Structure 1
Amino acid sequence: MTTAASADEQLWSRCGGCSSLLYRKRLRRNLDVCPECGTHSRLTAPERLRQLVDPDTWVPLPDRAVEVDPIDFVDALPYPHRLTAARAGSGLDEAVLCGTARIGGHPLALAVMDFRFLGGSLGCAVGELITRAAERALADAMPLVLVTASGGARMQEGALSLMQMATVSQALAGLREAGLLTVSVITDPTYGGVAASFATNTDLVLAESGARMGFAGPRVIRQVTGRDLPEGFQTAEFLLRHGQVDMVVPRRALRGRLAALLAAAAAGRHRVRRLVVPRQEPARPAARPADGPEPVAVADAWDTVRAARHPGRPTTMDYLDSAFDGFVELHGDRLGADCPAVVGGLARLDGRPVVVVGHQKGHTTAELVARNFGMASPAGHRKALRLMRLAARLGLPVVTLVDTPGADPGISAEQHGQAAAIAENILALSVLPTPVIAVITGEGGSGGALALAVADRVLMLNHAVYSVISPEGCAAILWPDSGAAPQAARALRLTAPDLCRLGVADEIVPEPPGGAHADPEQAGALLRRAVAANLAPLLDVPAATLVRRRRQRFRRFGAARTGLVAVPR
């Protein structure tokens, strides 16, 4: 029985912007935009589809997500319980709806995210579904439109969720190579791994009025910087002023604007040959440690985290002295800045010229502060990208050394396009026509690490960690106890043996007894041996084959983990 109170609640709604009491039918007629102040309420994915696509043209992809729990994650609740609750609450199988449709009569593939489902987070199933939408667009030679609404990568799936940033980005690279239009529509909110990959990797980036986007969220930025944020920080209008989106579009004009863009693309596009997605190669078996001393047994994942953060642990500059020869440092992003948290240049590895790029922390407090604790700014990511593209032009292999708690979460970094800078690195590495070896030497933190780690071979030192989020950050979000970081470290499966079993890392590089900080010279020798051994087989591989295999490597992180099933039409 419907009570008078519940009936009133269905008839009226209070605006989250100006607190006006609004007649619900009037609000719906205005596309859930407050007629008093213009605040755009969040839409569900089905509501978004009804507003955007031509009637009776939406055809879902013939795939349905089933339960995915790749690392058996448990916090206050087991992850499968959270998935069940999200499905019951949203009526969706996952945080995205993917299919084909028409807008203004123009065919397209479409992926629409839904924030109700675990904050629209990017997990293996979401990455796989969006990738399949991109592959459908490629196969049918039509544009792809992505409507984003997400808090970022899904921490309950650990580093495998981080890999989806690369998986989807390389699918977009295929569309770019084929000359097919890609468009992202940023809706509120779009943060973290989604902002730092496919949301900003498209040809055009549209932002709905009032939508917020950034790599780090406002709360994190306030905690890290201790500063108040500028008025309108990270909103669509702020992003437009700072050159990070192509246009800001009110909801009522969004469908018409997309139709115009699709029409222009159709008029200007040359005939595109239908392409077939390459058949997936079987997954590689779990990697074995490189020859050398047996890896030091670590009692607990939290011990590994502390070892990875040890102030005496060798830095990139230390390894450039001990594992490489003749290093010549190159500076600057050529756009006005030189980020000290990223170093790179030309060097020799066993007599062979290579380009080395890595995060630089330091050992003392003064060094750490000067290097921003190894947290790269947008200028750092752009410097790394410039050097990697230089390597490709010169035909030189690339070696990256990853040791960062994450990308710089500061106000200036957001103003200068941190998410887009990371996204561009991920996209460029997925198509770089030269061998790439990545080594996680200490902390591999989130998108800041992945920006240097989309590689043909990913190695991890025995006491290194690689994770979608820090244990402290994960504990603060998912555990009621603020001291649960050790428990979160175990749940995240962030150690080298864990990640080799998951296929994220290919090989464990041994460390000297007591860890790399106990004998930096020997640590450098072991790293040199491992990198040289992994690089040698890649040197004679044709560039096209190299890129295809690299793409297949990251494609498997979605295809092998999701358990998607076809839905009969």
Structure 2
Amino acid sequence: MTVLEQIDALPADTWRRCDGCAVLLHREALVRHEHTCPNCGRHFPVRAFERIGMLTDPGSFGERHGRLAPLDPLGFEDRLTYRERLARARERTGLNDAVVTGLATLNGRPMALAVMEFAFFGGSMGSVVGEKVARIAGDALRERLPLVVVSASGGARMQEGVLSLLQMAKTAEAVRALRQAGVPFVSVLADPVYGGVAASFASLGDVIIAEEGARAGFAGPRVIEQTIRQALPPGFQTAEFLLGHGHVDRVERRQELRGLLDRLLGLLSGERVAGELREPSGARPSGDLDAWETVKLARDPGRPNARRRVEELFTEFTELHGDRQGSDDPAVLGGLARLAGHPVMIIAHHKGADTAENVARNFGMPHPGGYRKAMRLFRLAERHRLPVVTLVDTPGAYPGLAAEEGNQSGAIAECLLLASGLRTPVLSVITGEGGSGGALALAVGDRLLMEEHAVFSVISPEGAASILYGTAARAPETARALKLRGADLRSMGLVDDVVPDQDLGPTLARHLRELLAVPIDDLVARRRDRLRSHGVWSTEGEDHD
């Protein structure tokens, strides 16, 4: 008997052939690698309770709402009755329906959990799935527990008709209640997620993670091709497609998912940890450097970009992607992190570390999608009472055709409006160039700091010189006239602190501690008063009637 014949003689579930690389894999090897191929990394489907075992502490999961079972409201029948199909699904999976819900712990942290079972009716959402998701969301709300939902679904369950369709609205309302109460919700997309599940709770997470290899969308690819009569491009609706179009925050390997969830739940829940940060050096900014020389230093390509700043100043940085509307602008870097042990949201202009990366990141000049991404993260921070730290370093907003078509002005205006009333502390620092409204969109807050060799201006010196003198050659003297250095702006009362580069971390931590001590209503009122105070004018001849 050949090896292959011996394998064929074994129980059907002992060996599996990988669809990615065609290697035969023993079940024990798959289990050890969390049902991913050790050869090519392909992710195999997993059953709901296997998934629960991967994501929770041993013995911690307690099922809730497990006795809910579907009925047959339509008396539906095709080749089989709905009741017969339900009976077969129960026998095959051991479940009453296509989701398992309960409470558990992850590294000792309590959470509510829902995991869908694709093997039960293709993970379709009928009345029971909708009700169980809504109920576990309600449990999370009452007990103030973060909610994690792992989705795998083909969509709505047609055998329950419009009752199935209405579960989309039911589950969306349950998520609305979580948002309103500031209870964290992390949505994980396994393979696949389509239809009613994709268009309801699965797309409403504070953070959305697509497992590597997942496919997701509203309509399935076959339906789309039949509708539009066109072949779809390679990679359509894959996890990478979703990330590139701003639909999800991250694409993650299954082996990394547990650690990521642990980190996210800690940050979103506002848990503080002991944080060490060195004391300031005691150095004071000289303020003597000429304005044009300061401009050149602010633009120095060797100056640390946003990612380097984040790595130097923060811990546990977890990058989040996308504006949820079709783009993930690489000129804006955002994510959760800790500053001296306190969870914060970071939003930063992101230049490249070299020419190629600068081109990819548009030299730190955001499109409208970059500002929409920033606004999404502003709202996420406000919802969970996380302070915001913005790092400003941009020549300005991108002035191109696509940006104008995307309403660049509107995006900046909405960003300013949102930041001005955000109900969480906002701490901004200009680390390099602060160019025009494109910079100001991320520089409205409770404190504005500038690094010693940074600049902040209404227009570039070259632009102003070209307008005023007809030549950019007079940029050096125009830079001096614009008063764009930190020392100049602080003397005008527009900047709170000018910081030597090496002292930025401890200075940020000090200002954050001070802001956190202010009641939120007072903080927002002070921010409003601060913004109203900007400007100079004469009252001569003013009508006081």
Using structure 2 for the length normalisation, give the TM-score: 0.48
Structure having the higher Rg: 2
Using structure 1 for the length normalisation, give the TM-score: 0.46
Q: Which gives a bigger RCO, structure 1 or 2 (Cα 8 Å, sep 6+)?
A: 1
